């Protein structure tokens, strides 16, 4: 009964979720990226749709099938992910940033394949736009949730990130433990809310965690 009750907790609300890694091109055949699988974001998208939300996932390059009733926009780079996000944000009630967005991109992408003519090669990188901060800074911002993957001082860094980025909630995971988090099927997290409260969720499947996080977000949005 409780599960049924919870299952429509986001009825009619519009949820946008970023997921997966981004790829930043060096030349036509090479890129900088990371090991994010997108599983956490896709699990949250599935749970949001189950909860009755009109759900869109903006996905970097991942090998995952689209959950039932979820709209999907595929992107490659951080700039594309940002543009796709901003195109949806006016009609969005809840924004959840799970993507492992590349912090930097090469200043320019070579038009032709880079040849190995020198012993050393310098690549200059430039910072990408912070998508979740951009969303949270808007006048009429949606309820905005970020993630923080940290290897030390998890609580301090996560709370600091929530404040700096003006988020309503941040979900922190300790990626020093390599069995969980990045690219695995399980995760263990702590949820910190703007109002100061926190809740730890012990290791569980990302599918189950998606449902728990959506249930928690629903209690804060209503």
| Residues near Ca ion (CB under 5 A) | 103
Name the β-bridge partners of 171: 147, 191
Residues with Cβ within 8 Å of residue 125, at least 6 apart in sequence: 32, 104, 105, 106, 107
Please check whether residue 21 is in contact with residue 12, taking contact to mean a CB–CB distance below 8 angstroms. no
Q: Which is nearer to ligand CTP, 11 or 90 (CB)?
A: 90
- Residues in contact with ligand CTP, shown as a per-residue x/- string from 141 to 180 under the rule CB under 6 A: -----xxxx-----------x-------------------
Q: Which two tokens stand for residue 11?
A: 């009825």
Taking the C-alpha atoms of residue 152 and residue 150, their distance in angstroms, rounded to an integer, is 6
Residue 34 appears among annotated catalytic residues: yes
The sign of the CA dihedral 33, 97, 3, 208 is: positive
**Least distance from C-beta 99 to ligand CTP, angstroms?**
5
Pure H helices in the chain: 2-6, 39-50, 78-88, 131-136, 154-164, 206-221
Q: Which is nearer to Ca ion, 95 or 218 (CB)?
A: 95
Cβ count near 22 (within 10 Å): 28
Considering CB distances under 5 to 8 angstroms, the limit depending on partner class, which of Ca ion, ligand CTP, none binds residue 78? Answer: ligand CTP
Q: Which is nearer to ligand CTP, 6 or 77 (CB)?
A: 77
115 annotated as a binding-site residue = no
Q: Which is nearer to Ca ion, 93 or 103 (CB)?
A: 103
CA distances from residue 72 to 15, 27, 135, 174 in whole angstroms, order as listed: 12, 27, 19, 28
147 annotated as a binding-site residue = yes
**Least distance from C-beta 100 to ligand CTP, angstroms?**
7
Footprint of ligand CTP on 69-98 (CB under 6 A):
78, 97
206 annotated as a binding-site residue = no
103 annotated as a binding-site residue = yes
Q: Does 128 bind ligand CTP (CB under 6 A)?
A: yes
Q: Which of 74, 80, 103, 155 contacts ligand CTP by CB under 6 A?
A: 103
Please check whether residue 38 is in contact with residue 147, taking contact to mean a CB–CB distance below 8 angstroms. no
Name the β-bridge partners of 169: 145, 193
Residue ranges for the binding site for CTP? 103, 113, 147, 161, 165
Q: Which residues bind ligand CTP (CB under 6 A)?
A: 18, 78, 97, 99, 101, 103, 128, 130-132, 146-149, 161
Catalytic positions, please?
34
């Amino acid at each position: 009964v409780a599960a049924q009750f919870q299952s429509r907790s986001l009825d009619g609300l519009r949820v946008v979720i970023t997921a997966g890694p981004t790829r930043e091109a060096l030349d036509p055949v090479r890129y900088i990226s990371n090991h994010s699988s997108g599983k956490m974001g896709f699990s949250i998208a599935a749970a949001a749709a189950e909860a009755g939300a009109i759900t869109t996932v903006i996905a970097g390059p991942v090998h995952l099938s689209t959950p039932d009733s979820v709209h999907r926009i595929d992107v490659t780079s951080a700039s594309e992910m940002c543009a796709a996000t901003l195109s949806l944000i006016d009609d969005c009630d809840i924004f959840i940033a799970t993507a492992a967005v590349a912090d930097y991109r090469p200043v320019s992408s070579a038009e032709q394949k880079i040849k190995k003519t020198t012993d050393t090669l310098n690549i200059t990188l430039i910072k990408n736009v912070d998508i979740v901060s951009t969303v949270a800074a808007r006048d009429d911002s949606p309820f905005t949730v970020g993630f923080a993957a940290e290897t030390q001082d998890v609580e301090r860094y996560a709370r600091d990130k929530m404040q700096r980025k003006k988020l309503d909630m941040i979900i922190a995971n300790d990626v020093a433990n390599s069995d969980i988090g990045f690219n695995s099927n399980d995760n263990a997290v702590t949820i910190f809310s703007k109002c100061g409260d926190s809740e730890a969720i012990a290791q569980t499947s990302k599918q189950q965690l998606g449902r728990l996080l959506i249930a928690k977000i629903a209690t804060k949005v209503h």
